[in-house]
Structure 1
Amino acid sequence: MAPFIVSSPWTPPPPPPGCGVSSLIRGSAKPNPRRCVGHLRRLRLRPSGCPIRRFYPKESKMLWQLLQHILQVYMVVTDAFHHTQLAIFVGGPLVGKLMDYFPRVPAYHSLNVIQTAAQLLSASMIIYALNNTIKQSSTSSVILQPWFMVLVVAGAIERLAGLALGVTMERDWVVMLAGRNRPVALAQANSVLSRVDLLCEIAGASLFGILLSKYNPVTCLKLACGLTISVQPILVILGHVINSLSSGVLDCSRSGVKPVGSSSLFDARKIVENGLDAFGHGWKEYKHQPVLPASLAYVLLYFNIALAPGAIMTAFLVHHGINPSIIGGFSGLCSIMGFAATFMSASLAGAAGLIFQAFLLTLAVSVYWAGSITQQARLLIFLSLIVVSRLGHMSYDVVGTQILQTGIPTAKANLIGITEVSMASLAELLMFGVAIIANDVSHFGFLATLSVSSVAVAALIFCWWLANPTDGQKKLFKFDAPL
């Protein structure tokens, strides 16, 4: 039976000269399989140490080649992700401004086409890299390849289009269809959308995981491309059906928006000027929105990258030798808790959800600092507190979304919404930068403390806002009942 965790912290023996482990990390050389197998054999001498001990030498050689390939792909994708986050921060306000100027349904169709094309281009570049480049090149040289530049640009366009679609659906379409003055219908619509979104994420990840276990990555990417193309006509049909069933409510013009010619927006000579103007205008509108504290609380939650399912937590658990099934179960339970939170948003609404999350994460950090996390009971308590805290996180997400939907004017919904997402992307990028600078698992406690501090500050800001509403906010919301 595989051990649950390692018995004590363990430093693996150094690789022999010529093995290429350190060279692989630097991206400057290819490993020598024969010497690497010998290094892997020495790793197996530790009875409760590295999980590689369960493989025979022949399988160890195959495993090393697989690990080499996965490591290079991961580093390339991570670097592309960081460039994409930066593009969202810079280009988000311009996209939001464009979305507020154009009609809803044509903009929806255009964004779907752009997103699909960008996804297909990204998949094509990754398939090309898997078949030709990554297997023979070091990571540093891969980043300089033309296909990688195309991947970064396509990924940024895909992310911007996807975020624009998400914001226009959540902040504009749902409000128009459910009714700004019908809070119960709006809350029900938000809950249903959150459930469907979470179910699709769980089902999609599970399906792709099953496919990856049976087929190689290139085949899986080709299947994903085929699915993306086949879904495009369905999206077009659904857009027209929604508008027809709502008696054309989506065709209504936005009050307060002056029509603008496309030539002035897309003039190549003024594209930089328009971009800078949109960037400044977006941040100005975001700063003066009537529900700024609720939005800031939402953004601060994105600083929590250590005490949530993701790359940082996974790396921490892997370092401590946690069984992969436990890691997968942790992520799955977090998703299930998020789904359950959509049924409990009334019980953990607003401030209650944030306080609940901050309290549980504070307990989790206290458990971490109290002693060695490698003890089974302590580790289970630590992970359980994080899992249950997701109830508060998603409960606030549902309620906070409705606050922003109600408080932001329809004419500025896309601009302010995408600017808010840009701030959230910047928050993630900053925290990942801190994690890269820390560059050691021993600094996980510092990252965890920063994460729980951001959640606590979000709770304080939101509670302060509830306790000190302005006259305009009193007209928008009923402050006689807790949110």
Structure 2
Amino acid sequence: MVVICTEWESWCNSQLAGVNRPVALAQANAILNRIDLLCEIGGASLFGILLSKFDPVTCLKFAAGLMVWSLPFAVILTWLTNKLSSGVLDRPKCSQTCCRTFDDGALPDAESIVDKGVEAIKLGWKEYMQQPVLPASLAYVLLYFNIVLTPSSLMTAFLTQRGLNPSIIGGFSGLCAFMGVAATFVSVSLIKRLGILKAGATGLIFQASLLTVAVAVYWSGFLSQQSPLLFFLCMIVLSRLGHMSYDVVAAQILQTGIPSSKANLIGTTEVAVASVAESTMLGVAIIANDVSHFGYLAMLSLLSVVGSAVMYCRWLYNPTDEQRSLFSF
């Protein structure tokens, strides 16, 4: 559900702002990301306050009820958006060959449904590998291998094992979240000054550089002292600025380089591949579950970010003719 909503929002932005207006599209994507991040921060804060005053079952009931009551408002706002934009979100009419109904025959059996599902997956993978902006998409996927040097449960467990004050751990997660909001403003400024592609390279190089410093501090062996540990956390917090900036840029590259008829298919496949990458790295973390292996996991995360930056920069400096026609190299 989250994947579908994300790709639908991205496609709506490209339709409403226009792919031939890069600054307007960047601002639309930034505003959308900003709203999402603020809602996540507000929701997590509200749930934390409720959890401190009520039992978990009551909090879960409240959260479920809030989601149910918010659904009609989401439907109404979607309908209003479509009406005010003269039907820009209407689904294109399909030909008779692609829009078959089941009025003339029996309903498909389970085997045919599975076959169609497999064919859909094959089609999505084929279209994904043939897209003109594949290196930028793969660079985005590589970032999902970085599950250690991020505000996550692994980092929380590591900091707890180090005996860090819980308020500092909470402040670290909060600063990472607000850094994501700041990145939505930075990304628009970068796109205005450098263009879409160079803005993406700037975000990736910035993130890779700061995480390299963070891992170097870790391997220096001084994290037993509080000052180096706080510096280590500051590098991770600042690196989120580059990560979230590239998140906005990558969405715009996808919107610009892919036809709207294939955007949902390719975008959904990209998110699925990114989820597989994240799950794979989580499996590695489960196998290496000892805290002494944290440094090796951090090194793997760093290599994924550096590899993402290298892949993107190679694509930027060696574009194909098709990519030259899509972007102003």
Q: 1:326 matched to which residue of 2? A: 168
Matches within 5 A, 1:230-309: 230-251=69-90, 253=92, 259-261=98-100, 263=102, 267-309=109-151
How many Å apart are 1:424 and its aligned residue? 0.6
Question: Taking every aligned residue pair, what percent have the same amino acid on both sides?
Answer: 63
What whole-Å deviation, never above 9, does each CA across 1:408-430 have from its counterpart, x for those lacking one?
Answer: 11111111111101111111111
Work out whether 1:335 is the aligned partner of 2:177.
yes
Q: 1:370 aligns with which of 217, 220, 223?
A: 220
Paired AA for residue 329 in structure 1: G
Q: Are 1:255 and 1:410, in contact at CA under 8 Å, matched by a contact in 2? A: no
Change (3 A) 1:328 1:265: farther
Report 1 or 2 for greater relative contact order, CA contacts < 8 Å, sequence distance ≥ 6.
2
Q: Are 1:286 and 1:416, in contact at CA under 8 Å, matched by a contact in 2? A: yes
Q: 1:52 matched to which residue of 2? A: none
Distance 2:83 2:72 in 1: 17
* TM-score (structure 2 length as normaliser): 0.93
Matches within 5 A, 1:115-130: none
Change (3 A) 1:283 1:363: same
How many Å apart are 1:259 and its aligned residue? 2.9
Local SS of the residue matching 1:251:
coil
Q: 2:258 matched to which residue of 1? A: 408
Change (3 A) 1:471 1:256: farther
Q: 2:269 aligns with which of 414, 419, 427?
A: 419
Work out whether 1:188 is the aligned partner of 2:27.
yes
Paired AA for residue 141 in structure 2: V
Local SS of the residue matching 2:19:
coil
Distance 2:136 2:303 in 1: 17
Change (3 A) 1:277 1:333: same
Paired AA for residue 184 in structure 2: T
Q: Are 1:407 and 1:476, in contact at CA under 8 Å, matched by a contact in 2? A: yes
Distance 1:383 1:243 in 2: 44
Work out whether 1:433 is the aligned partner of 2:275.
no
Q: 2:61 aligns with which of 222, 235, 249?
A: 222
Q: 2:305 matched to which residue of 1? A: 455
Give 1 or 2 for the bigger CA radius of gyration: 1
Distance 2:241 2:32 in 1: 17
Distance 1:257 1:437 in 2: 51
Paired AA for residue 299 in structure 1: V
How many Å apart are 1:283 and its aligned residue? 0.9
Local SS of the residue matching 1:344:
helix
Distance 1:351 1:465 in 2: 10
Q: 1:205 matched to which residue of 2? A: 44
Q: 1:169 aligns with which of 6, 9, 13?
A: 9
What whole-Å deviation, never above 9, does each CA across 1:140-172 have from its counterpart, x for those lacking one?
Answer: xxxxxxxxxxxxxxxxxxxxx2211111211x2
Change (3 A) 1:260 1:210: same
Deviates more, 1:206-215 or 1:468-477: 468-477
Distance 1:267 1:177 in 2: 39
Change (3 A) 1:376 1:166: same
Distance 1:470 1:212 in 2: 54
Q: Are 1:256 and 1:411, in contact at CA under 8 Å, matched by a contact in 2? A: no
What whole-Å deviation, never above 9, does each CA across 1:405-457 have from its counterpart, x for those lacking one?
Answer: 11111111111111101111111111111001101000000000000100000
Q: 1:466 matched to which residue of 2? A: 316
What whole-Å deviation, never above 9, does each CA across 1:314-365 have from its counterpart, x for those lacking one?
Answer: 1101111111101000000001111111111133821011001000000000
Distance 2:205 2:122 in 1: 33
Paired AA for residue 317 in structure 1: L
How many Å apart are 1:284 and its aligned residue? 0.9
What whole-Å deviation, never above 9, does each CA across 1:220-259 have from its counterpart, x for those lacking one?
Answer: 0111121111111101111110001001121252799963
Unaligned runs of 5+ in 2: 191-197
Local SS of the residue matching 2:199:
coil
Q: 2:295 matched to which residue of 1? A: 445
Distance 1:173 1:265 in 2: 33
Unaligned runs of 5+ in 1: 1-160
